[in-house]
Structure 1
Amino acid sequence: MADQHAEATAPHVHGEMNISEQAWTWSLFMGLTKWLSLAMAVLILFLTVWFGVGAGFVPAFISSAVMAVVGFFVLKNKVSA
């Protein structure tokens, strides 16, 4: 009896696979990881300054806003010339 899966599986040939979808998925994953990490850091800083230190809402908001702006400029994609 012949193997049922023999026709469905082809031997892999290195270098002939289109990886554009894999590259797009990896780029999306890295971008989301980068920006969500910044968002989590800003949220943790905000809550720590507000409740942990007890400085109040305004100092917590200001320090978080500064961190968000600095983080944005540090993490944004660099455009090469």
Structure 2
Amino acid sequence: MAGDSSDYQRGAMDISEQTATYNLIMGLTKWGSLAICVGLLFFTLLFCTTTGFLGSAAWSVVLLVLGVIFLREKPDAAH
């Protein structure tokens, strides 16, 4: 039945809720991955090396700062 008409019109639907959900999931994935990496680095250095608590914490803070710098939202270059 290729000739049936439909109320569907491509591109006419409001997708703001889907866009907001997608952005939320991507943000949670991005920042959650950074948190897991920082925790993994901290405990690996603490228990598997002679770095100690302060050295492990210092390297974890360095990773956290670099992660925040590289993962934050960039301003639009089109302006």
Counterpart secondary structure, 1:50: helix
2:23 pairs with 1:23: no
> Which residue pairs with 1:70 in the alignment?
66
**Aligned positions of 1:34-53 closer than 5 A:** 34-53=30-49
Count, aligned residues: 72
Of residues 54, 69, 73, the one that matches 1:58 is 54
User: TM-score by structure 2 length?
Assistant: 0.83
Structure 2: tracts of 5 or more residues without a match: 1-5
TM-score, scaled to structure 1: 0.81
| In 2, Cα distance between equivalents of 1:35 and 1:14 | 34
CA RMSD of aligned residues (A): 1.4
The alignment-based identity, stated in percent, is 42
Query: Which consecutive residues of structure 1, in runs of 5 or more, have no partner in the other structure?
Result: 1-9
Which has more radius of gyration? 1
Deviation for aligned residue 1:44: 0.1
